[in-house]
Amino acid sequence: MANKLWPLACIGHESHGSHGSHGSLSPRPHYPSMPTYPKGVSGEESSAELGLEAKALFSVIGMTCSACAGSVEKAIKRLPGIREAAVDVLNNKAHVLFYPSFVNVENIRETIEDVGFGATLIDDEVNDRSTQVCRMRISGMTCTSCSSTVESALQAIHGVQKARVALATEEAEVHYDPKIVSSNQLLKTIEDTGFEGILISSGEDISKIELKVDGVCTDHSMRMVKESLQALPGIQDTIIFPELNKISLSYKPDMTGPRTFINVIDSIGSGRFKGSIYPEGGGKETHRGEEIKQYYRSFLWSLIFTIPVFLTSMVFMYIPGIKHGFDTKVVNMMSVGMLLRWVLSTPVQFIIGRRFYIGSYKALRHGSANMDVLIALGTNAAYFYSVYSVLRATTSKDFKGTDFFETSSMLISFILLGKYLEVLAKGKTSEAIAKLMDLAPETAILLTLDAEGNVVTDEEIDSRLIQKNDVIKIIPGAKVASDGFVIWGQSHINESMITGEARPVAKRKGDTVIGGTLNENGVLHIKATRVGSESALSQIVRLVESAQLAKAPVQKFADRISKYFVPLVIILSFSTWLAWFLSGKFHGYPESWIPSSMDSFELALQFGISVMVIACPCALGLATPTAVMVGTGVGASQGVLIKGGHALESAHKVNCIVFDKTGTLTLGKPLVVNTRLLKNMVLGEFYELIAATEVNSEHPLAKAIVEYGKKFREDEENPAWPEARDFVSITGHGVKAIVRNKEIMVGNKNLMLEHNIAIPVDAEEIVAEAEGMAQTGILVSIDGEVAGVLAISDPLKPGAEEAISILKSMKIRSIMVTGDNWGTANSIAKEVGIETVVAEAKPEQKAEKVKDLQAEGYKVAMVGDGINDSPALVAADVGMAIGAGTDIAIEAADIVLMKSNLEDVITAIDLSRRTFFHIRLNYIWALGYNLLGIPIAAGVLFPSTRFRLPPWIAGAAMAASSVSVVCCSLLLKYYKRPKKLDNLEIRGIRIE
């Protein structure tokens, strides 16, 4: 269920029978208004005085529709000191933010009861947020074993509810109770496990900004700036960094903003100080760039030392003149070549390869083993055996041992090259997020208006300085600087970068705009409504980032293997060495098998080291997360927001889709197409009565009736309808009210029959005729007598039939579940080619149908709007919120389709199938590589072919394995949606 709970549309209308199923047409969530301050106190005055706000959650008993929810919400908001109130009719709950100095929970509870509903305070969710989410960057992880160790350590902390650690993104997301544990304790736990943790963000409803303060010369000045900023309303936390002249602020964007902070700084000390946004740095891309440079530098340095080692042991030994020089003895049997290789390989082993010692020490200290342990063991075995050979040669006059210095130094060089290529490739997996973040423009034109709304001044500002309710000018060719709505002008805006919709969208006064989209022709003045972390762009980025942290269930397979992988490889490596050594010792194979430059011990040692370094736990660990990262990124670029690996894994198995009707299969914009009066009365008067009744409902059909009624009041844009008394919404049937002392009822046949109103044969025939044409027939009674019938049509989306046909070809069954009447539902279903229909279904019945299908063995996807359909969305294996636009139903759905296109349902399923094909390919590659590579490295082919894998080649193969897995995932970047969808567009059908 959604955690963002907004006042919902009238659920009573959801299954009105003839009033139709219009769950997917619930009104968009409205955004929190400015704080409701106590009477007589202005916003500026009260913000500082109100103090901390509190949160309370009430269970409200007796609500049946949005009219009930609306009356509860209005009553609460009338109380002094209420910050915000949102009533969730589906869960019978009311969420209230309030200021305890003006109102308490008992006042709120009594107010709800005064409206006529039962109210109970849910104690465990009162006041401060009980769960907070923080994100951290973790440095030093090399394989799944590392990420599992950190995740287990975080999960074990008291107060942590959920912890997710992603190897591919090197980030952690922790859900915790701030009253029990702090983010600093989480960071300390990460450091205790042997890794470095850096806090990226903490909390969800607080914005952060870093400011640079020029002109500061003492710590006292900095403290003075801090105290001045702390006095502002909405400031949560301030941290100063005197040595950097930097101040970090956490604040509530509803109450204040960065421009206010800079103005305050500039006004301190008679203009001595100058505030500005601190130059960006230290972000994910900066960190990734530093990591790439670090590996590149390390690889180059290792190459400088390794190339001479390789040449002296592998090349110069075959050039007679040079070979003689390197074979010259220094002390006893120690040659110049030996000494040179020892000197050159030592810095590679202990300075350049220091990272592997540190990594293995940290892992072993916590009882786990990772890739670093294998590398450290393999290179140490080669290096220290070589040192032993050199020392033996120095003290003996007849020792003829061989050194393996080239093995250790070349191993480290190849592994560093592999890590460099891997980090480079991993950086490309998150390009989608970088592109999304780059959509926001750098500057904006801020307008100052006078009391009449005329422009007084305009100035160019940094777009990060935009605050809520600012008026911004958008010129042709410029990007929209912030989410908001148009207050002046008209234009066309290209929203493809956010929604994936290629065609420009017309915008005029009152229309909403999304930050980051492109203004094409006219000039617009927009009022900023959502800034910073609240913007649609930020929400999308957060969703994609969160999705990339979420593990797919298939990842558990790699996690289970990783626990035993490294210890098993060490045992296999030791067993290989022992088997070959004992075979050589007891003449188990001919001496001719032993190369001339070695003895049986050295041959066995080479086999053992090769086994140790060819095994690659990294490839297994990266198989799933890299593919999920690229898949979710590609989806985001096409307007399909997939909520992580679990959603991807479930979607690729879907074989049955349940569609809501209105707004999903139909356009969701109902229109009155026919009116038949059964009484002798003026049509304008008839519509005045029913519009006055329906204006109290937010149901789409009600809105269609009200809009049609306005045609009879053309002189007024927003006419004042007569007062409707005793308004009641009857669940599943319709509405009734008293207007001008007449009892008006608008609804289906059941509504009339329940109130003993006779339905004339003419009326029944008109309703049947309308339903046969896929229209909704609505009966209107005045004072207990049917006075007229309305026919309302919600046109089918162009291409809906083709979309259902494509799903059939993908072997996916389509079902329609709607609250509309059977006649209309069957007509629509027949038109689009859906055979199974469930009509007149309430929201909970939709969820029951989903569960019934699951019981039959289907993997079910539910396509709806994420609000009225949320019970079914949650019950389904995959919930898809369609037509979300800027108001993304993030919590209710697993997949959010940002356009109203049915083609995106097909794209989402096809993309998930393609992603899982790549995940399987990655696992086949990673497992197959280890299953084939380890036996070859152990010398299985040696007896028959004399082929053996030198350790340095085994190390190169290990490095190549990880890079190959990441590159296989990167191929997803070239994903193209099914050609059948392109064929629809070629034929002129645009599904929307």
Residues labelled catalytic: 660
The answer to whether 206 touches 128, Cβ cutoff 8 Å, is: no
User: 81's torsion region: left (phi>0), alpha (psi -120 to 50) or beta?
Assistant: left
- Nearest of 276, 254, 262 to residue 533 by alpha carbon: 254
Per DSSP, 239 falls in state E
**C-alpha–C-alpha distance, residues 634 and 974, integer Å:** 9
Name the residue among 278, 275, 273, 271 with its Cα closest to residue 220: 273
Number of residues assigned to the chain: 992
- Quick one: DSSP state of residue 52? S
CA 958/CA 981 separation, integer angstroms: 41
Q: What Cα–Cα distance (Å) separates residue 69 from each residue in 104, 115, 720?
A: 21, 10, 23
Cβ atoms of 734 and 5 within 8 Å: the answer is: no
Angle of CA points 807, 811, 814, to nearest 5°: 50
- The residue among 541, 552, 422 whose CA lies nearest residue 965 is 422
Residue with tokens 């193969």: 957
Other Cβ atoms closer than 10 A to 267 = 12
Helix (H) or strand (E) holding 209: strand 207-214
Residue with tokens 């609240």: 534
- Strand arrangement, sheet containing 118-121: 82-88, 93-98, 54-61, 118-121
Task: Decide: 853 and 860 in contact? Cβ < 8 Å.
Answer: yes
- Asked whether 103 and 81 are in contact (CB, 8 A), the reply is yes
Spatial distance between the Cα atoms of 396 and 968, rounded to a whole number of angstroms: 53
Q: What is the rounded CA–CA span in Å between residue 349 and residue 382?
A: 10
Cα separation of 589 and 515, whole Å? 74
Decide if 559 contacts 364 (C-beta within 8 A).
no
How much of the chain is in helix, strand and coil states, percent to nearest 5?
Answer: 50, 20, 30
Token pair, residue 507, equals 């915008």
The number of beta carbons lying within 10 Å of the beta carbon of residue 750 is 19
CA 720 from centroid of its chain's CA atoms? 44
| Residue 447, strand partner residues | 458, 471
Cα maximum dimension of the chain: 126
Q: Which two tokens stand for residue 273?
A: 């100080």
CA distance 807 to 478: 39
**Distance (Å, rounded) from C-alpha 578 to C-alpha 331?**
32
Helix (H/G/I), strand (E/B), else coil: 679: coil
- Give the 3-state secondary structure of residue 406: helix
Give the CB-side neighbour count of residue 619, counting CA atoms within 13 A: 27
Q: Distance between CA atoms of 146 and 162, rounded to whole angstroms?
A: 18
Interaxial angle between packed helices 336-347 and 405-429, expressed in degrees from 0 to 180 and rounded to the nearest 10: 30
Would you give the distance in Å from CA 91 to the centre of its chain?
25
H or E element in which residue 907 lies: helix 903-937
Quick one: tokens of 710?
A: 């306005």
* 774 phi-psi bin (left φ>0, alpha ψ -120 to 50, beta other): left
- Token pair 């003419």 in the structure block, residue: 762
